[in-house]
Amino acid sequence: MKIADRYAAVINWFETNMPNPQSELNFTTPFEAIVAVMLSAQCTDKRINQVTPALFKRFPNAEAMAQSTEEELLSYIQSVSYPNAKATHLLGMAQQIMEKFNGEVPSDFELLQTLPGVGRKTANVVCATVFNQPAMPVDTHVFRVAHRIGLCTSKDKTPFEVEKRLRTYIPTEILSKAHHWLLLHGRYVCTARLPQCDKCGIKDFCKNRPKGERSPQ
């Protein structure tokens, strides 16, 4: 199966079966979103959603958080992964938003990456989920699924290379939606261990389909 045909088949299946995928992180404002996304690095959305209600109540905006301390922030996020580093990044992020962006989370991809703790993936997620911009964040789920089902090649060894490959074949207008498709598929079906191939709606197009099943030519 040619890669372009695989993309077309996969996109068609998701458009039919998952037309409106949504982020599983809970947030209501751009500031809450960037905080939640920063906290979610190497941590589950479920855990973050348990932590953020109290955090958002205490720090509803960048101004409130910028006046806090790492110690106070740490007391709210102790149960997430790498809490010390994340407390440092959250405080620095909030302070820079106040100092450089008048208290508003920037919508520009490059400007987002100037904030402490915000790398390419986090900036992409914020652009996609908050500002409805075409973006393809590549986390561990997207990276694994793209390789496993054959949306990229063995030459695509880094998240950035996978992102470029996906951007090449996925129409710009559905790029952010496609990110959620691949992420959710990897989280619940095409899991790292024991992928649930029997429940997979796109297994007919998968490069690594279960043994004994012929791949479309």
Catalytic (active-site) positions? 121, 139
HSE-CB at 110 with a 13 A cutoff on CA atoms is 0
DSSP E strands: which ranges in the chain? none
Identity of residue 179: H
How far is the C-alpha of 138 from the C-alpha of 175, rounded, in Å?
A: 12
Integer-rounded Cα radius of gyration of the chain = 19
State the CB neighbour count (10 A cutoff) for residue 82.
14
Identity of residue 186: G
Terminal Cα distance for the chain, rounded: 5
Maximum Cα interatomic distance, the chain, rounded to a whole number of Å: 61
Please name the helix (run of DSSP H) or strand (run of DSSP E) that holds residue 163, with its range, or none. Answer: helix 159-169
How far is the C-alpha of 135 from the C-alpha of 182, rounded, in Å?
A: 13
State the CB neighbour count (10 A cutoff) for residue 159.
20
Burial class (CB in 10 A: 0-12, 13-18, 19+), 201: middle
